[in-house]
């Protein structure tokens, strides 16, 4: 009986623990590149990613099309085309296809920042969007 109680307590405790972040292979590749680019690199920052998401350069920011919340569907500023939510917690297909992620980072970084994003910026951005639940 004591073993059953101990087992039950352990199972309940396991469910009470906060969920650990699931590794994302795309973000892991940015982490590896960020370490090459900057040997002092430690890890990505949710706060830096949130700042990048909301920083307006000229008329545009990520939030211009994706809304203030990555959980919400957006609309392209020029074409009015619907955009599915950016957060994987609202749209599980996000950040699962390397080619698609690179395509959109290339296009959107150039549109918003007028330059390519660094691996650090991409990883920070993903850290923020992946953290939004």
For the stretch 93-109, pLDDT in tens is: 999 999 999 999 999 99
Q: What is the pLDDT of residue 22?
A: 58
Average pLDDT over the chain, rounded to an integer? 86
pLDDT tens digit sequence for 118-129? 999 999 999 999
Average pLDDT rounded to a whole number, residues 36-49: 97
Which tokens hold the place of 41? 């690199």
pLDDT at 9 over 70: no
Q: Would you state the pLDDT for residue 48?
A: 97
* pLDDT > 70? residue 60: yes
Element (H, E) at 126: helix 119-131
Check whether 111 has a pLDDT greater than 80: yes
Determine the average pLDDT of the residues in 88-96: 94
User: Percentage of the chain with pLDDT > 70?
Assistant: 83
What are the CA-CA distances from residue 6 to residues 3, 12, 16, 19, 28 (Å)?
Answer: 5, 10, 15, 22, 37
Give domain limits for the chain.
24-131
* Domain 24-131 bears CATH identifier 3.40.50.720: no
Whether 82 has a pLDDT exceeding 50, the answer reads yes
The per-residue pLDDT for 23 is 78
Is the pLDDT reported for residue 7 higher than 60?
no
Cα distance between residue 29 and residue 131, in whole Å: 18
């Amino acid at each position: 009986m004591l073993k059953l109680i101990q087992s039950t307590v352990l199972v309940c405790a396991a469910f009470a623990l906060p969920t650990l972040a699931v590794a994302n292979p795309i973000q892991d590749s940015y982490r590896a590149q960020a370490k090459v680019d900057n040997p002092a690199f430690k890890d990505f920052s949710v706060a830096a990613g949130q700042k990048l998401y909301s920083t307006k350069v000229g008329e545009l920011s990520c939030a211009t099309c994706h809304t203030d919340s990555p959980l919400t569907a957006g609309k392209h500023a020029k074409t009015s085309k619907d955009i599915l939510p950016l957060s994987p917690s609202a749209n599980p297909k996000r950040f699962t296809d390397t080619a698609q992620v690179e395509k959109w980072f290339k296009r959107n970084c150039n549109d918003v920042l007028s330059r390519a994003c660094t691996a650090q910026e991409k990883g920070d951005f993903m850290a923020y969007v992946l953290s939004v639940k």
